[in-house]
Structure 1
Amino acid sequence: MTVGYEIVCRLKPYIQPFERNLALKELEALTGAVPTPETAVDLSTDSLVYRVMTTQSPTYLADRLTYWEQLYPDGNPFTRQLTRQVKREATANLVRNGITPEQLQAMLPFQQEVPLPNRRNLRYGPHGIHEYRGKFFPQLVRSLLNIARVGPTSLILDPMCGSGTTPIEAVLLGCQAIGLDLNPLSVLMSRAKYASLTIHPDELIKAYQSLKVELFQAAAPSTHLPWLESLSPQDQDYLSHWFAPQVLAALDPVAIHIKNVKHPACRLLFQVALSNILRRVSWQKDDDLRVRKEIQSDREIDVMAEFLSELNRSVKTILALLYENQEFPVGQATIIEGNARQADQLLADQRGRIDAIITSPPYATALPYLDTDRLSLCYLGLLSRPQHRQRDYQMIGNREITERQRQLNWQEYQQRRTELPAEITRVIDLIDTLNRQAEVGFRRRNLPALLARYFLDMRQVFQTFLRLLKPGAPAYVVVGNNHTIAGGQRVEIETDKLLVQLVSQ
C-alpha cells in the first residue's frame, strides 16, 4: 500500500525571482505534483509557503530540496524539518575567527538551534575555498539536478567545470560526476574540493596542525629557494617581475612543506590555500581583471600570516561541512584536464551513458580566465609561462588573439558561416560592418572574429553533448548576455537566445 504525505514547504525568504521558479520546478519534479500556495497564517505569508501531496517522504524531500528552508509534514508547525541544504549553508556562519575544530565538532551536525542564513550563501563547504571569477551558483546546480530527477547511480558531466561547482554538488547529492577543464588551476581546484569531501576530519586536523608546527619551526628565509629553483628559468624570471624578492623567499618554505604533506587530499587542499594568497602578496593590482602591476615599496607583506589565515579559514570551512554531512555519503568524481570540444573523444567509454550535463561555459570574450590565474599557474608549476598563450588560444571564449589569428578566425568564419544560424551571423556581420565604418581599438576590431570562433566552438561542444548523453537525457547550459559598442551604436549580444538557435539548428 502506497503511503501519501501532505507536506507544507516554506521557501527561503531571500531568494530571487528566477530562484523561486526553479524552486517550484524542483519541488514538482521530486514530488510528481504541482505545489499550491498555502495561506495558513500560522506558518508564514502565502508567497513563501506551498502545499503539496506526494508519496515521497518528508525526509527524502528535506534531503534533496535546494531553495526551500523548512518542511511541515501534515502542515503541523510542531513537526518542522529543516532542509539539508539550508543546514549546509548554515555551516558557513560558524566558521569565524577564534572557533576551534573541537568546537565545530561539538556543534555539528546541527540538532535544535541552527543559525539560518538571512541572505544567499554561495560559499559553504568546498564552495568557500579559493576565489574564482565567474563562479557558478551551487544552488542553481543542485536545483537543476533535482529537476533532472537524478539519483545515486546517475552520471553527471560538466565539460567546462571551472572551479568544480557541478561535480561538487553532484557528489553531495550522491551522484557520480565527471568534470573537464582546460585550465590546470581549475582542475587543481576541482580535484581539491572533491578530495576534501573524502577526508576524515581527524586526518585533516592532524595534517593541518602538523603543517602549522613545521612552518613555525622552519628556518628563516634564505637565498636558497628550492621550490622556486625547481621551476623553469622562464618561470623564475617571470615570477621575479611580479613578486618582491623577500616575498618569494617567504613563499618557498610554505610551498616545500606543502609538497611534503603525505595525505594526498590534504596536500591538494593546502596547495589551493597557497594559490589563493599569491595574487594578494604579489605586485598585481588585486581588484583588477587585467594584468596591471602596482609596486608599493612601503607595503609590508607578512606571507606566513597571510597563508596561515587562509589555511585556517579553508580547513575550518571544510571541517564544518564534513561534520554536518557525516551521515550522508558522497558520490565519486573524476576531474580531467581536457578540451570540451573533444569531450566525446576524451570520454569515449562514456558515450551514451551521461544522465545529465550541467555547465556554465565562458561567456563570449567576457573574462580573461587563464590570465587571471597566471601567477598560480606559474608558481605552482601547473603551466609554464611560455605555454600560456597557446593554452589561452585554445580556451572557449578567449579574447586574446594576435592580428594573424584574427585574420585566420575571420577567414574560417567566412568559409563556415553556413553552419551557424542566421541570427548569429547577423549579429557578427553587424558588429563587423559598424566597426569598419569607424576608428576602433584592437579589442573591438577583434570582436567579430572572436564571436565567430566562440559560436563555432560551442557548436562543436553541443555536438559532443549528443554523443555523450543518454537518449532523452537533459543538458543545462547557463550563460550570461553581453553587449558592445560598434561604430558608436550599442549592439546586444544575447548569448542565451543565440545558443538556443545554434542548438535548434
Structure 2
Amino acid sequence: MAKRSRRVAANTYPLWATLDAPVRAVPTPVVPEARSLAEIREPAEVLARLAAVDWSFTADDTSYLGHDLHPYPAKFIPQIPANLISALSLRGELIWDPFGGSGTTPLEALLLGRRALSTDVNPLATLITEAKCAALSPEQHDDLRKLHMQARSLAEAHDVERAVNSAWPRSARQVPQIPNIDEWFSTSVTRELAYVKDQISQLDDPAAQRFANVALSSIVVKVSNQDGETRYARRPQHLPPGRTLRAFAQALSDALVKHEPMEDLLGYRRPRVVTTDARHLDEVEPDTVPASSVDLVVTSPPYANATDYHLYHRFRLFWLGFDPRDMAQHEVGSHLRHQREKQGFDLYLADMRPVLKSISTRLRVGRYAVFVVGDSVFDGKTISTAEALSTLAESVGLEVVGVVSRTVHATRRSFIAAARRTRSEDLLILRRTPHRLTVHFRAAPYRMWPYEDALRRREIAAVLHIEPRKPGDVQTAELSPYELDRAQRLAFTHLLEVEGGTPSWRTWQAILENGNAEAGRKDPKYATHGIHPYKGKFYPQLCKALLNLADLEPGATVLDPFCGSGTVLLEAQLNGHVATGCDMNPLAVLIAKAKTGVATTSAVALDRALKDFRDRTSTDKSDARSADYFVPPLRAEVDNWFPAPVTRRLGWLLALIERVPNVTATDVLRVLLSSIIRQVSQQEPADLRIRRRKEPLEDAPVLDLLHARIDDFRTRLQNFGERTSSSPFSFAPATVVDGDARLWSTLAGMERRVDCIVTSPPYATALPYIDTDRLSILTILGLGAPERALLDQGLTGSREIRETQRRQLEAALSAPGLAKELRSPTAARLVRQVHRLNRAADVGFRRRNMAALLFRYFDDMRRVFENLTRVIRPGGRLSFVIGDNKTIAGESPIDITSGKVLAELGESMGWKLVDSIPISVTKDAHLHSHNSITENVVLCFQA
C-alpha cells in the first residue's frame, strides 16, 4: 500500500484526552462478585460468606475517588457497601439506600456496574450525591473552568473589594436569612459568598450549577466564624478581601481534579437521587420507589440519639437556599430531637418502623437488605439496635438472616460526644421471603414477523430451560425468584410482569433500544450499530436471539468468521461474551473495531476527545498543501472523484485525526468521516454501484456534515453510557482481525476454544463490497485501484474472476468426485447445470463466468467450514444466516440454493443440523441488486 505523507498540522492535545492516562484504582471487593441469583438462594450460605469477611478494613483507603468530595458526618466507609453489593446483587440491578447521605452506596453501586437509587431527607445530601455520582460533560467542564478562572482572577485583583461591592446591588439577593448572620460571617465574606452564589446562578447547565454549589458549600464553614467543622461555637476570624473567592476557586479546582478520574470509570452512568423522608413513602410519595423494584437495600441509618445533621450543615443549608429548621423536624435519630421531645429509644423505633415497612414492599421477592447500625445509648444504658430492628423487621414481614459485627475506626472529627460514640457496628441482614412467581413475558411493542415470534418462544425455552404456557401472544411461566436474572437476556421479550400487582420491568434489550421509554418501532441502530451504513448486514436483534438459542453463559467465546461491520461482535460484547471476528474488507474491519471499541472505552474520555476534535475543526483551516496528505499514487483518483476544496478538507481532517491521542476516538472519527464520503464526492449517493452524478459538485459542506455526525454520535454515546448501568454484563474487549477465514493461519491458536459461531456469510455472487465502498477505502484507508482489485477478487462470493482461473475451474467440473470435493451433492449439481446451460447459449461474460464463480464460492465455504470444525468446542452451536438468490443460465431462471448447500456441507463436517428457520425478507433487501435474496434461512448446527 502506498504510504501517505506524514505531514500534519502542529497540534497539542490535552493530557486528559489520552486513554492511557493513569486512573486511580478502585479497591476490588474481597467478597467474590455474585454471578447468578442462584448463588444467593440459600440464606445460611449467604450469612457464612459475609461472616468470613473482616469488615473493619483498618488499612484500607476510605477516601478514594470522590468519596471525600464534601465533608459529611458519620458516613460509613465505602468498602462496606462495595462488598455487600458485590455479594448480594448482580450487574444491572437496582441498589437503594433509603438514608443515602453523601452518596457512598450509590457511588459504589455505579462503580460496580449496578443502578443506584438514593433517598435522604437532607437536601444537601441530595446535592452532594448528584454531583459526586455523575460525570460532567466536556461542555459542563468548560463552564466550570471558566467560573474557576473568573473567581481566581478576581481574588487576585488589587481592587477585588471594589469589584465585589459594585456587584452587591445584584448579588445581595443571594444572602440567606440566617439568624444573627453578622455574628457568623464578616461583611466581606458575606458579600463574596453572595457574589459566588450569583455567578453560579447564571450558569445555564443544572449539573454545572450543582457541582459549583457543592464546591461553595464545602468552604462555607471554613470562611465563617464557626470554630471548625465539628464544633458549633463562634471563633471570629478576620479574612482579607478576596480570601473567600480564592477559597472557592481552590475548592472548585480541587473538586474537578478529584472528580475527573472517577468520571472515566463512571462513564455517563448516574444514580436517581430524591430528597424525601423514607418514613413517609407510602403516605406521600409511593411512586418514588415503586413496589417490588429494588434488588438490594444497603444503608447505614442515623444512630439513635447521636448526630444532628441539620446542625452540622446549618450554614451550608442556609447558603444553598434551604432551611435547616425544616430538616430538624424530620431527622431520624437526632440527639436534639430526642432531648426536645423527651422520648427515648421508642421514638427511634417508631421512626424506623415505616422505613422497614417500605423496604419490605419495595424489595423484590427473595432479595436482601443490609443495615449497618451501632448500639444506642440512652440515660447511660446501651441498647442493641440490631436486636431491636430485627424484632421490628419480623413484625413487618421480613426474614432475619443474621448479624455480623465489625470494629469501627476511632475518630475525633465528630459532633457526637465521646460517651455516645460506638466502638463497633453490626451488619443486620434481612430478606424478603421468597416464593415462586407467575411471570408473563411480553413481546417487544413493535410489529413482529412470524419468525420473530417463533424465535421469541424458542429463546424463552432455551434461556430459562422451561416450556412456557401460551395464552394468546403472552408467554407465561412459573419461576423461582432466583431464576429471573436469566430472563434479562431475552431479545424479543421487552417486559417481564409478575402476577400480584408487581410493576413490570424491562429487559436489557428493551433498555438498549429505547432506554426507559416505550417505543413502537424496532431500532436496529442502538448502541453503536448505526455508526456507518453497511450493505448486507443482518440486524442485531436476530443476532442476539441466535446467541440466546445457543444457551451461552457470560464469558463464552463467540466467533464470526465473516464479521463484516461487526454486528455479531457487538451483540456478543453487549451480552457478556468474548467476541472474535475476521473479515477481508478493510473498511468493515475498521467499522467493527470502532463499534466494539466504544463499549470498552470510557464514554467520558471518548466524548472529551470527540468534542475537542470538533472544536479544533470549527473553522476550516485547510489550504492547498492539505491535499498533499494523499500521496501521488492516490492523488489522481482522489482528484477525479472529489472537488478540489473537498480534497483539501479531507486531507486536513485526516491529518488531524491521526493526531488524536485516543485509539477509539481515532477509529470513530475515521468511520464518521467515511460515512459522509459519498455525499461529498462526485458519486451518485443513491446508487449502490459507482456512478457519477449527473451534475458534478464544485464544493461540498464537509465540515458541516462531519460535525453533524459527531454531534449525533456524541448524543448516542451519552445515551448508551447512561444505559450501561442497566447492563447485566461487563463488556470484554473484542478482537477484530483483517484476515481470511479460509486460511487456517487466520484462526490458528483457537483450536477447540470457541463456544459459539454466529455469522452471515456472503451469498453467492451478490454484493460487491469493495466496489460499493471504494471511495472510503481510497480516502480513509489509502488503498488505490490495484490494491482494491486484488481485494475484490479475493473475497468469498466475489463476482470478479480472471480468465485463467475460470478455465481451470470449469475443467474440474467434469471430474467424477466433484460432489465429494465440495461435500455437497446439491452444489455439484447446481454448478454443472449452470455451466451446461450457459455453454449452450450465447451469453455475456457475467453469465459465462457464473459456473466458475459458484464453484469457487462453494469450495471457499468448504474451506471455511473445515477451519470452523477445528475451532468449535464439542457440543458448541453454529448458526449461519444465509440467503438463496437467483441467476439466469441460458434462458432459464435458476435458484442458487445456498441454504441447502450449506446444510449439506455442515452435516458432512459431522455437525448435527438441529434447526432450519426460514426468515422473511424485507423490501429493502431488493434495492440496487439484480441478484436479490429471495429467501433467508438460519441454519443451526451443533458440533
- So what's the TM-score if we normalise by structure 1? 0.89
2:511/2:726 contact within 8 Å kept = no
1:449/1:201 CA distance change after superposition, 3 Å:
same
Residue of structure 2 aligned with 1:341, choices 716, 739, 742? 742
Distance 1:217 1:454 in 2: 49
Read off the aligned partner of 1:339 and give its amino acid letter: D
Residue of structure 2 aligned with 1:26, choices 459, 464, 471? 459
Answering whether residue 441 of structure 2 is matched by residue 9 of structure 1, we say: yes
The Cα of 1:251 is off from its aligned counterpart by 1.7
The Cα of 1:77 is off from its aligned counterpart by 5.3
Answering whether residue 882 of structure 2 is matched by residue 479 of structure 1, we say: yes
| Structure with larger Rg | 2
Residue of structure 2 aligned with 1:468, choices 863, 866, 871? 871
The Cα of 1:125 is off from its aligned counterpart by 1.1
Within 5 A, what are the aligned runs for 1:39-118? 46-47=472-473, 49-55=474-480, 57=482, 59-73=484-498, 75-76=499-500, 78-91=502-515, 110=516, 114=517, 116-118=518-520
Answering whether residue 675 of structure 2 is matched by residue 276 of structure 1, we say: yes
Partner SS state of residue 274, structure 1: helix
Distance 1:350 1:382 in 2: 31
The Cα of 1:76 is off from its aligned counterpart by 4.0
Q: Which has the larger displacement, 287-296 or 406-415?
A: 406-415
Distance 1:412 1:261 in 2: 53
Partner SS state of residue 37, structure 1: coil
Within 5 A, what are the aligned runs for 1:403-414? 403-414=803-814
Within 5 A, what are the aligned runs for 1:148-227? 148-219=550-621, 221-225=622-626
Residue of structure 2 aligned with 1:331, choices 732, 740, 750? 732
Distance 1:442 1:117 in 2: 49
Partner SS state of residue 128, structure 1: coil
Distance 2:897 2:774 in 1: 30
Q: Per-residue displacement from partner, 1:116-145 (whole Å, max 9, x unpaired)?
A: 221221111110110000112111111111
Instruction: Give 1:42's aligned residue.
Output: none
1:316/1:405 CA distance change after superposition, 3 Å:
farther
Q: Per-residue displacement from partner, 1:239-281 (whole Å, max 9, x unpaired)?
A: 1111111211122222122111111111111111001111111
1:430/1:318 CA distance change after superposition, 3 Å:
same
Answering whether residue 769 of structure 2 is matched by residue 369 of structure 1, we say: yes
Residue of structure 2 aligned with 1:259, choices 654, 658, 682? 658
Higher RCO, 1 vs 2 (CA within 8 Å, ≥6 residues apart): 1
Partner SS state of residue 127, structure 1: coil
Distance 2:545 2:718 in 1: 24
1:290/1:406 CA distance change after superposition, 3 Å:
farther
- So what's the TM-score if we normalise by structure 2? 0.48
The Cα of 1:62 is off from its aligned counterpart by 4.4
1:284/1:297 CA distance change after superposition, 3 Å:
closer
Q: Which has the larger displacement, 261-270 or 452-461?
A: 261-270
Q: List runs of 5+ in structure 2 lacking aligned partners.
A: 1-40, 43-434, 909-943
Answering whether residue 907 of structure 2 is matched by residue 504 of structure 1, we say: yes
Q: Which has the larger displacement, 330-339 or 1-10?
A: 1-10
Distance 2:874 2:443 in 1: 34
CA RMSD for the aligned pairs?
1.9
Distance 2:696 2:788 in 1: 29
1:352/1:471 contact within 8 Å kept = yes
Partner SS state of residue 906, structure 2: helix
Instruction: Give 1:243's aligned residue.
Output: 642
Q: Per-residue displacement from partner, 1:80-126 (whole Å, max 9, x unpaired)?
A: 011110111115xxxxxxxxxxxxxxxxxx4xxx1x22122111111
Answering whether residue 786 of structure 2 is matched by residue 386 of structure 1, we say: yes
Answering whether residue 712 of structure 2 is matched by residue 310 of structure 1, we say: no
1:248/1:351 CA distance change after superposition, 3 Å:
same
Within 5 A, what are the aligned runs for 1:403-482? 403-414=803-814, 417=818, 418-420=820-822, 421-482=824-885
Partner SS state of residue 861, structure 2: helix
Distance 1:413 1:83 in 2: 52
Distance 1:141 1:5 in 2: 29
2:587/2:776 contact within 8 Å kept = yes
Distance 2:829 2:488 in 1: 47
Distance 1:261 1:214 in 2: 11
The Cα of 1:412 is off from its aligned counterpart by 4.6
The Cα of 1:419 is off from its aligned counterpart by 1.1
The Cα of 1:403 is off from its aligned counterpart by 2.6
Answering whether residue 468 of structure 2 is matched by residue 35 of structure 1, we say: yes
Distance 1:412 1:391 in 2: 25
Partner SS state of residue 792, structure 2: helix
1:215/1:253 contact within 8 Å kept = no
Q: List runs of 5+ in structure 1 lacking aligned partners.
A: 39-45, 92-109
Distance 1:318 1:464 in 2: 37
1:412/1:293 CA distance change after superposition, 3 Å:
farther
1:32/1:54 contact within 8 Å kept = no
The Cα of 1:445 is off from its aligned counterpart by 1.4
Distance 2:697 2:790 in 1: 37
The Cα of 1:61 is off from its aligned counterpart by 3.7
